[in-house]
Structure 1
Amino acid sequence: MLRSTFLTTLAAGIALGASTVAALAGPLMDRINAGETVRLGFANEVPWAYPGENNAPLGFVNAYVLGVLHEMGHDNIEPVVTDWGGLIPGLQASRFDLITGGMYILGSRCENVTFSEPMAKVSDAFIVKTGNPEGISTYTDFVAKNATMVTGAGFNTVEAALKEGVPEAQIMQVPGPTEILAAVKAGRAAAGAVTFFTAQELAKNSGGEIEVTDPGALPDWTQNWVGIGFRDEDADFVAAFNEAQAKYLGSPEMLAAVAEYGYDEKVLPGEESTEWVCANR
């Protein structure tokens, strides 16, 4: 009788321990343990993250994330493509499991997304018509010249322009880079505000109609860090991702995987932590 009671108590304790461990796992680990895919959410943002044939995840952020996930032992991947403005809402609605789209870590976003430690540090720039006829180099130029700026809905450049005093009425928001380029080429906006990577790509494909302004003309606070976005409840997975990232970031294998997209040692994020970036951006 005593032995039976002991075994019953032991079994109950094991069951309680197992349920406690299960409770600590977030929904992404639950999906993985059930044999389901890790769903990558991204928009069409060349060269950051964009779809190839059959939505294959291309771009340097996708290549990077695939490398980190492989380091973790996760290769069952499913790409999910959406508009930029749908990335954070889609993550919160569990339509995908992480954002690989090349998202800046901003204080306003940190309220809704748990970011990995930074994987890149990058600048913004403007695309302008060749010769820069409106003379746009900084956000304050839009104010001085009463000029229109075009950028993407949900882009960090909206916040930056408002911070620099650009009236909301002078900020045209469109779905993404294709529409930004079209607005500048058509003269509907004096300049388009995008990341330096995106600006270079747009200028390269503009047939000589577009050039890129000097990102060094912008204030230091417009330098930004890029992270991978997760749901808050997946903190267990984020911790494991950060551990694998620490081994992979800057490695010869990683740099080889992203080289074709223009990422090199100059883009490495440095020593700043996500906690610091959330507090200072």
Structure 2
Amino acid sequence: MASPNRYDRQGITDARAHVPGPARRSLLAGVAALGALGAAGCSRVATASSAPGGDLLGRLRAQGVVRLGIAGEIPFGYIDRDGELTGEAPELARVVFKRLGVDRVQPVPTEFGSLIPGLNSQQFDVVAAGMYVNAERCEQVLFADPDYQMLDSFIVRKGNPKGLRDYGDVVAKKARFATGTGYAEIEYAVEAGVKESDILIVPDQVAGLNAVEAGRVDVFAGTALTTREVVKKSAKAEATKPFSPLVDGKPRVDGGAFAFRPTETGLRDAFNTELRALKKSGELLRVLKPFGFTEAEMTDLTAKELCRR
């Protein structure tokens, strides 16, 4: 049985994005890339902080700009068809860093697997890519508290004729099952008893929708956000209610957050202070809502909780 942290969360693919990225990335790919240079061709940021807690926030205020590592993934962080930086993480970064006295954000596009090595080799100042928090990553970077949480959901035929509501139903009803390349749902399905050899792997949720509509599979599994968004224009398919997959018999709720270099506790703490204020006021949902997030994706999970899993 593979580690429950092996796979990651997927984004929404869109032909308009100028910086393509895979729909969902394996954590192992990120670990393998630790020796690689992230964000090739980008100028380096200042040298690492030596002061206790780090001095990056002060330097960012003096520079007036923070460099964001993004992975070209809708809706988390991408360049739109007009060449503008957008996505839930960059938009949130604009709000938080403005409050912290840093007026501008600058994108540094890279591969998802290069985000952590790129951060730690100082190619950019912060990872702003909706990155899931898990134990392996917590050994490499410092996470803010999650700005969103995510459950799973299925794409099924209209009316859900097989009554598929979770992975247990897929096993019990011998449903033909599909999910995306590298998706965490592969492991969640196997955990429930689906044979990995029986899983149809497709590139992304759009291909999954097509497979369900064409009758090649009974169900496609993805995150609640991606399934909800992709079925909006479908006349043949619908998304099921979100649910928590089980890992080692316990419900799993994933959370995505900003990542900082391990020495920058001062910046992380300042970021968390502003994030908590945005959550309390309801402003966080207003910032994330245009990217498909709802009240159900708001969370009080902490990085400390997720790092222990």
1:45-194 matches, within 5 Å, as: 45-46=74-75, 48-81=76-109, 87-88=115-116, 91=119, 95-133=123-161, 135-144=163-172, 145=174, 147-153=176-182, 155-194=183-222
Write out per-residue CA displacement over residues 155-184 of structure 1, whole angstroms, 9 at most, x where no aligned residue: 432332333233332344555434443444
- CA 1:197–1:21 in 2, change beyond 3 Å: closer, same or farther? closer
The answer as to whether partners of 1:39 and 1:96 remain within 8 angstroms in 2 is yes
Q: From the CA coordinates, give the structure whose radius of gyration is larger.
A: 1
Q: 1:136 to 1:235 in 2, by over 3 A?
A: same
Aligned mates of 1:167, 1:266 — CA distance in 2:
31
The C-alpha deviation readout for 1:82-119, integer Å capped at 9, x for no partner, is: 56566556545655443333333233443444321122
Contact kept, 8 Å, 1:45 with 1:101, in 2: the verdict is no
- Unaligned stretches of 5+ residues in structure 1: 1-19
CA distance in 1 between partners of 2:122 and 2:210 (Å): 33
Instruction: Give 2:287's aligned amino acid.
Output: A
Q: Distance in 2 between matches of 1:138 and 1:74?
A: 44
- 1:200 deviates by 0.9
The match for 1:32 among 60, 63, 66 is: 60
CA distance in structure 1 between the aligned counterparts of 2:117 and 2:253, rounded to whole angstroms: 25
Q: Does the 8 Å contact 1:150/1:189 carry over to 2?
A: no
1:261 paired residue among 291, 295, 300: 291
CA gap of 1:161–1:39, structure 2 versus 1, over 3 A, is same
Contact 1:45 1:198 in 2 (8 A): no
Q: 2:237 aligns with which of 210, 217, 220?
A: 210
Q: 1:217 to 1:232 in 2, by over 3 A?
A: closer
In 2, Cα distance between equivalents of 1:212 and 1:158: 18
Aligned partner of 1:57: which letter? L
- Partner of 2:275 in structure 1? 245
**Number of positions where the alignment pairs a residue of Structure 1 with one of Structure 2:** 258
Choose the corresponding residue for 2:73, options 38, 44, 68: 44
Shift of 1:152: 4.1
Map Cα deviations across residues 119-155 of structure 1 (whole Å, 9 max, x no partner).
22332111123343554322233434163321242x4
Gap change, CA 1:22 and 1:103, over 3 Å in 2: closer
Q: Which amino acid aligns with 1:241?
A: F
SS of 2:74's partner is coil
Classify 1:230/1:22 alpha carbon distance in 2 versus 1 (closer, same or farther; 3 Å): closer
Q: Could you list the runs of 5+ residues in structure 2 that have no partner in the other structure?
A: 1-47
One-letter amino acid of the structure 2 residue matched with residue 243 of structure 1: T
User: RMSD in angstroms over aligned alpha carbons?
Assistant: 3.6
3-state SS of 1:242 partner: helix
User: Does the CA contact (< 8 Å) of 1:100 and 1:228 recur in 2?
Assistant: yes
Instruction: Please give the per-residue CA displacement for 1:163-209, whole angstroms capped at 9, x wherever unaligned.
Output: 3233332344555434443444455543222221111110113x323
CA distance in structure 1 between the partners assigned to 2:267 and 2:155 by the alignment: 38
Letter in 1 for 2:304: E
SS in 2 for 1:204: coil
- The TM-score with structure 2 as length reference comes to 0.67
